[in-house]
Amino acid sequence: MIWSGWLALLVSFVVAFIALPVMIPRLGRVGLVGQDMQKPGRPRIPEMGGLALVTGFGAALLVAIALKTFFHLLPRVDLVGLLAVLATVLLIALVGILDDLIAVRQIVKAVTPLFAALPLVAIRSGYTVLNLPFVGYVNFGLLYPLVFVPLGVTGAANAMNMLAGFNGVEVGMGAVAFLALTVIALSLGKLTAALILLAALGAALACLYYNWYPARIFIGDVGTLSMGAVLASAVILGNFETAGVILVIPHLFDLVLKAAHGFPKSFGICHRGKLYCPESGPVGLGQLIMKLSGGISERNLTLVLIGLEVLMGLIAVWLYARF
CB 150, CB 144: distance < 8 Å: no
CB 49, CB 210: distance < 8 Å: yes
Q: What is the chain's percent helix, strand, coil content, to nearest 5?
A: 70, 5, 25
pTM of the complete model? 0.95
Each residue of 171-188: pLDDT tens digit? 999 999 999 999 999 999
Question: Has residue 251 been placed in a domain?
Answer: no
Question: Has residue 308 been placed in a domain?
Answer: no
User: 3-state class of 26 per DSSP?
Assistant: helix
Mean pLDDT, residues 255-265? 82
Question: Has residue 37 been placed in a domain?
Answer: yes
Question: Has residue 255 been placed in a domain?
Answer: no
Domain that holds residue 45: 2-245
Each residue of 189-214: pLDDT tens digit? 999 999 999 999 999 999 999 999 99
Helix (H) or strand (E) holding 253: helix 249-260
Question: Has residue 269 been placed in a domain?
Answer: no
Q: How many domains does the chain have?
A: 1
pLDDT of residue 266: 64
Question: Has residue 175 been placed in a domain?
Answer: yes
* Distance (Å) of CA 119 to CA 44, 66, 78, 158, 297: 37, 20, 14, 18, 42
Question: Has residue 262 been placed in a domain?
Answer: no
Question: Has residue 271 been placed in a domain?
Answer: no
